[in-house]
Amino acid sequence: MPTLIEKAGIWAKSSVLAKGKYDSPMSKQPVFDLHCDLLAYLAKEPGANVMKSEDIGVSLPRLQEGGVAAQVLAIYSPTSAGSTDFAQQQVEHFLTLTNRNPQFRAIRASRDLEPDDKVAVIASIENASGFCEEFGPLKPGLRLLSAMISQVGPLAYISLTHHYENRFGGGNYSDNVGLKADGEALLDFLHGKRIPVDLSHASDALAHDIFSYIDKEALDIAVIASHSNFRPVCGHVRNLPDELAQEVLRRGGLIGINFLRAYIHDTEPNKLIDQVAYGWALPGGHKGLALGADFFSALSFPFPDRLPLFFPEHAHAGTYPALLKLWKSRIPTLSASDLAYENAAEFFRKLWDSRRD
Ligand SMILES: [Zn+2]
């Protein structure tokens, strides 16, 4: 069994650093990506290692190839018994990467958002089942959330659900299930804590309810969609209907473009350009559109009909420079630097540095 340190690529580092083998990320447009599942891959797959580009599109070599200067590492848990243990394993991987692998560093404050030649990472929680099991009282779950934050630092966001319904509300595939009492309690808890709520896995009903509850209770909570495309361009429940996309942007939130084939088109990779163009043209899109490619590992992926998960043109983080060039050539008004980095960085600067009187 490989140890956490081996998985974090420490022993492979001398070969990575061999002079000239990889461009410095600083020689490219820096990229800030809002979502990947590297931690779940490291926690779950036997033999997993951050150097294995054949396993996952966000290996360290791919991140460096793509100029990824800031990457959100999701702590993902399915809603099932043991969800909090699985999340804790991912916390350990986050700490090992940031403390033991010199190619990574943790983002803990605004000053850490300045790109350099490392991959700066920040954790997020994809599904609140990561800190709260489905059955039992809520309070210990909220205490565990606080403990996780004290371990990994500020969170980029929390999503209440994954694909399916849980104690907090409805997921993408649970149509009419909105915000539940525990979801309201979680939002109350998040008030003023500068942790955005992520709508990418919310049912439409849950997303509407989250906005309504925030307004009704006058809660100070930012709302984003970290890895979602636009439903008018590709009619999948994981993509945002217009009214939700516009509401996220109207409130100063971010929407991260997702690279998964299922949320783009069955056969046509260039439909991803249409997603970028659509988001860019929405009111507030120039400041709210960002990237959230959603690279995860196809190893032990249970739905063979969804393979390949990604088109070869955007199958890994190393494709970012070519994609940004292509998008800029097709969308004349596009600011590649704002889309790729600045919009996300500015969102977190504002979130963390604003005064709360
Ligand atoms: Zn996801």
State in Å: Cα 226 to ligand 1 middle: 9
| Domains identified in the chain, total number | 1
pLDDT at 18: 40
On whether the pTM is more than 0.75, the answer is yes
**Could you tell me the pLDDT band of residue 1, with boundaries at 50, 70 and 90?**
low
State in Å: Cα 238 to ligand 1 middle: 9
pLDDT at 15: 44
Average pLDDT for 315-320: 98
Decide if 109 is inside a domain.
Answer: yes
Smallest Cα–Cα separation from 160: which of 121, 112, 213? 213
The token duo for 243 is 């009214």
State in Å: Cα 291 to ligand 1 middle: 13
State in Å: Cα 200 to ligand 1 middle: 7
State in Å: Cα 209 to ligand 1 middle: 20
Q: State the residue range of the domain holding 162.
A: 4-13+24-353
Decide if 94 is inside a domain.
Answer: yes
Instruction: Please state, in angstroms and rounded to a whole number, the distance separating the CA atoms of residues 120 and 242.
Output: 32
Decide if 237 is inside a domain.
Answer: yes
pLDDT tens digit sequence for 140-179: 999 999 999 999 999 999 999 999 999 999 999 998 999 9
State in Å: Cα 352 to ligand 1 middle: 24
Beta bridge partners of residue 295, listed in sequence order = 36
Decide if 19 is inside a domain.
Answer: no
State in Å: Cα 294 to ligand 1 middle: 7
State in Å: Cα 253 to ligand 1 middle: 18
Kindly report the CATH number assigned to the domain that includes residue 202. Answer: 3.20.20.140
State in Å: Cα 77 to ligand 1 middle: 10
State in Å: Cα 59 to ligand 1 middle: 18
Decide if 18 is inside a domain.
Answer: no
| Residue 213 and residue 186 in contact, taking contact as beta carbons nearer than 8 Å | no
Instruction: Please state, in angstroms and rounded to a whole number, the distance separating the CA atoms of residues 54 and 247.
Output: 38
